[in-house]
Structure 1
Amino acid sequence: MLEQERVLAVSPLARAAGVGRGMRRGGVLMLMPEARLHERSAAREAEALDAVALAMLQYTPQVTLAEEATLLLDIGASLRLFGGIRALCARVRASLRALGFTGAVSCAPTARGAWLLARWGANRIGNGGGNGNSSGSGVGAKGGVGGKCGSRVLRMASLERRLERLPVALLPPAWPYMSWFEGIGCEQLGELRRLPRPGLQRRCGRELLDMLDAAYGMSPELYDWIVPPESFRARLELFDRIESADLLLAGAHYLVSQLTGWLCARQLAVERITLFMEHERGRVAMPPTPLEIALAEPTWRDEHLVRLLRERLAKQELPGPVIGLVLEAAQVKAMAPPTESLFPEPGGTEEDRMRMLELLVARLGPDNVLQALPQADYRPEVANEWVPVQQKVRAAERAARLPLDVASLPRPSWLLAKPIALLMRNHRPFYSSELKVASTPERIEAGWWSDTQTRDYFIAEGKDHTLYWIYRERIVGSGDDAEPRWYLHGLFG
């Protein structure tokens, strides 16, 4: 990463080849002719930091931007929710990796103290910390996120001891006076605090003392917390032309992480998302390819959304190379409150079952995962309709469709798609063996408006004690001498 033709940040591979900070472009190309050089872009750095800040809103609504590509999170009220400092620390790092960045994560009882520890950790990670578009990227959290490089501090006394050994150069207001500090042998914050405050204020200004006091908890800290937008729409410009849809999952995960933070901050759950895959511009321009995912149950968790996107992208065919991704939350609703039941449901919750069904829909297609919808009809063939499992049907609507006098009658668990005509042996219907009628008849006369049916249904038992649902078709107007015709229509479990 270059700034004004000098190296600002390097990768581990370039560092191993001898490239260091401050080196000129020519020196880098001499050591590594194959090196990829990028000019620092303040606009892209700000865009990346905003994306990270939006993703961090899933852990706390109090997130703010600080100096030197740093974020401050007040997580004092979130520790119990996420299982303590270590668990929260691991989740923050996982979110950073999903976004494609690295960072130093530190915690302290004061926000400015956490900021200093994160800055020191970023320097120790290696010449500026982050990757991608962020230089010196780090996350400091007031109240308790743990981090790398031993930067997890929970007590004020421990913070004071840790700050005493940090270099003065970490404070931006001290940069114009570093030659003077080096001349008087003042290199650490502990030595800086022991200098006379009136003389230090006259020489260096009040801003340096204010930052130092805030780090040690001697002055209040006030911040303007980030306010999430009213609607969600995030875009990612890809670094190359992608021709395979399944390679877009990393970029989609980047956008979903931001969506998760936005949903948590707004206390919303998403019901439908749309991923637009942008193609080439200019003379060969074509409209973006949309990929819409409708959820049976609203969710705000990124794991489930990423799983569904993985299944859909694996089957997506692209009309052309993709150069950018746009994610929109097409339909959202208020986050549902937790269940009020005292005991958990066996075998998982209703939400777990809906996630499994949504995953099956994404893998098999909406036309292959269906649910039964009873119809207000006495004829067995039309008494049920199969609809997509994502179609919401209320229980009251199901009960209203089913005739009351049919709901209590026995019905087979397996209804044949087309009745099978049965042979007659010894004046009994035959199916693998002679069937013995084991119930009183149930007469069905319906369909006079379309397909008239006049049938007498029975439960019959075979020699192997298997139960069948058979019917005798009544031939109206044929007389009593007509031979009845028997059919098999279903099997009981």
Structure 2
Amino acid sequence: MLWLCITLPQLPLEALQCEQSERPTVVTILEGSVRSVVCCNPAAERVGLKQEMNFTTALAILPEVIAMERRLSAEQAALERLATWAYQFSGTVILGEVFADVQRARTTALWLEIGASLRLFGGFRKLIEQLEAELGKLSYSYQLGIAPTLEGAALLARTGVRVAITTVAALRARIENVSVHWLNLDPWIPQQLQTVGVRTVGLLVALPRDGVAKRFGPEACNYLDRLIGAAPDPRPTYRLPPQYHARFEFEAEIHSTEALLFPLRRMLREFVGFLRARDTGVQKFTLRFIHRDAVATVINVGLSMPDRSSERFLTLARERLEHTVLPSGSVALELSADEFAMPTGLNVDMLSGATEQSEELGYTIDRIVARLGENQVHGVMAVAEHRPEDSWATAAPETRRQHLDFPDRPLWLLPEPKPLQLSGMPALTGAERIESGWWDGGDVRRDYFIARTQQGAALWIFKDLRDGSWHLHGFWS
């Protein structure tokens, strides 16, 4: 197996905000009576703030620093959304642990088995390029590591080694001189190793296992063996849910529509990753804006045909949001979908030009519906009824039409048939007899014809077989 590890060193911060702030910002946590800095954004690092710093010291350096409380639940939710997104690149995804202690808070990771995906994506380079292109759109800070063992890939990711290690022998050689501080061990273990002169992974691996186990516990030995491929490392894999549901909790109430678009954009891109993983699309998804003191605002975003474009989803959601009055600020956003269908554009179609035109027309209709509202835009569909005035009905634009085999009929019908006086009998074509409705009180017995005026206009007329009268019912274009 070949494992790709994605470490997320800024997850404590990026799980709370989706856009990079220009103002110095830190995430803190209270451990006992001491509040410590978990991670900092680049603006905070530039003024000297750093991880594990006492927050009192951070305030002394920069009194106006923005501080946010760490939320493990937000990090776990973000990690699970990323795992769902990552499924588009691998059928085997493993979630790492969200560590509560400050020292390992920046080591959260997930793994993808990519050996089985290389042929599908056209080779190693193309797979990594596509993964990084999509991951970059989610606005997460990340580091990648590739190795034949889970812990080996994680170690390479943490140290920033941008080399694909494909064999255990190459892995052992590569990590031999890595500092023991990078190992995923309890923080006190590397500190004690330093005191006895064991400063590199190579020196630690060379020590007798019995001595290591006696001094540092059997788990440390087990970790080292899993790191270098000397012991198996079975772990539960993440499974795609049958329906999609994601939630993003805001650090503070958001009142601005524009501000809501930042988390919405990330969530929609993660959602599209789920759709790609399932090789499907969606024709409807639901947004729920959660308020502290009011009922949630629900926005259903419908499409005229299945799709999986995050940009189209965002455009339609923005249109709906701009015409929705939120009762108060939002404290969380939820996105859900439970019905899926293959996007039309993904089907093989020899008439690709017609398919593209259909997609663009559908997208235009979707934007009109999003702007005006579902009750203001209607489509027209045929129904199984022979009487022309009853053979159509309004429907939602995205309603799937059934194919009905009717004779040619004009699209332009009069609201009511208009009595017609014929002076002489014009040339008539396209004869069609309609006898229907005797069972519901709407009995009709008519012979329909196409008649042309002297000016060349085509009229749709009929003779009422009950009394012989003639009527005009529609016009041909």
TM-score, L = length of structure 2: 0.72
Q: Quick one: distance in 2 between partners of 1:105 and 1:349?
A: 42
Aligned partner letter, 1:489: G
1:76 offset after TM fit, Å? 2.5
Q: Does 1:2 align with 2:28?
A: yes
The alpha-carbon distance between structure 1 residues 339 and 293, as it changes in their structure 2 partners (threshold 3 A), is closer
Q: Does 1:53 align with 2:58?
A: no
Aligned partner letter, 1:388: A
TM-score, L = length of structure 1: 0.70
Aligned partner letter, 1:458: I
Point out where structure 1 has 5 or more consecutive residues left out of the alignment: 122-148, 430-435, 479-483
Match of 1:248 among 260, 275, 294: 260
The alpha-carbon distance between structure 1 residues 21 and 294, as it changes in their structure 2 partners (threshold 3 A), is closer
The match for 2:48 is 18
State the secondary structure of the residue aligned to 1:107. Answer: strand
CA contact (8 A) 1:375 1:383 kept: yes
1:72 offset after TM fit, Å? 1.9
The match for 1:373 is 382
1:114 offset after TM fit, Å? 0.7
CA contact (8 A) 1:246 1:314 kept: no
State the secondary structure of the residue aligned to 2:82. Answer: helix
Match of 1:469 among 459, 464, 468: 459
State the secondary structure of the residue aligned to 2:322. Answer: helix
Q: Quick one: distance in 1 between partners of 2:325 and 2:345?
A: 40
1:183 offset after TM fit, Å? 4.7
CA contact (8 A) 1:105 1:151 kept: no
Aligned partner letter, 2:83: A
Q: Quick one: distance in 2 between partners of 1:150 and 1:346?
A: 44
Any residues of structure 2 matched to 1:246-395 within 5 Å, and which? 247-256=259-268, 259=271, 272-281=284-293, 286-294=294-302, 305-329=313-337, 331-332=338-339, 344-347=349-352, 353=358, 357=362, 360-364=365-369, 365-366=373-374, 367-379=376-388, 381-395=389-403
The match for 1:439 is 429
Any residues of structure 2 matched to 1:472-487 within 5 Å, and which? 487=472
Match of 1:415 among 412, 417, 420: 412
Q: Quick one: distance in 2 between partners of 1:102 and 1:291?
A: 31
CA offsets per residue over residues 104-143 of structure 1, 9 Å max, x none?
122222211111011213xxxxxxxxxxxxxxxxxxxxxx
State the secondary structure of the residue aligned to 1:275. Answer: strand
State the secondary structure of the residue aligned to 2:128. Answer: helix
CA offsets per residue over residues 2-26 of structure 1, 9 Å max, x none?
3433333222112222323444334
The alpha-carbon distance between structure 1 residues 474 and 241, as it changes in their structure 2 partners (threshold 3 A), is same
Aligned partner letter, 1:250: F
Point out where structure 2 has 5 or more consecutive residues left out of the alignment: 1-26, 98-106
The alpha-carbon distance between structure 1 residues 86 and 214, as it changes in their structure 2 partners (threshold 3 A), is same
Q: Quick one: distance in 2 between partners of 1:74 and 1:442?
A: 65
Q: Quick one: distance in 2 between partners of 1:95 and 1:339?
A: 20
State the secondary structure of the residue aligned to 2:67. Answer: coil
Match of 2:233 among 221, 246, 258: 221
Q: Quick one: distance in 1 between partners of 2:218 and 2:38?
A: 30
1:232 offset after TM fit, Å? 4.7
State the secondary structure of the residue aligned to 1:457. Answer: strand
Match of 1:40 among 70, 73, 78: 70
Match of 1:190 among 188, 198, 202: 202
CA offsets per residue over residues 143-171 of structure 1, 9 Å max, x none?
xxxxxx52433454543443223221111
Q: Quick one: distance in 2 between partners of 1:332 and 1:226?
A: 21
CA RMSD of aligned residues (A): 4.4
State the secondary structure of the residue aligned to 2:429. Answer: coil
CA offsets per residue over residues 219-268 of structure 1, 9 Å max, x none?
22211223455665433222333334454333334444565566677888
Q: Quick one: distance in 1 between partners of 2:232 and 2:335?
A: 39
State the secondary structure of the residue aligned to 1:53. Answer: helix
Aligned partner letter, 1:377: H
Q: Quick one: distance in 2 between partners of 1:439 and 1:337?
A: 42
The alpha-carbon distance between structure 1 residues 256 and 25, as it changes in their structure 2 partners (threshold 3 A), is same
**Identity percentage of aligned residues:** 26
The alpha-carbon distance between structure 1 residues 195 and 290, as it changes in their structure 2 partners (threshold 3 A), is same
Q: Quick one: distance in 2 between partners of 1:112 and 1:205?
A: 18
Aligned partner letter, 1:320: S
Aligned partner letter, 2:399: Q
The match for 2:96 is 66
Q: Quick one: distance in 1 between partners of 2:60 and 2:356?
A: 58
Match of 2:149 among 110, 118, 130: 110
Q: Number of residues paired by the alignment? A: 432
Q: RCO greater where, 1 or 2, for CA within 8 Å and sep 6 or more?
A: 2
Match of 1:78 among 111, 117, 121: 117
1:306 offset after TM fit, Å? 4.2
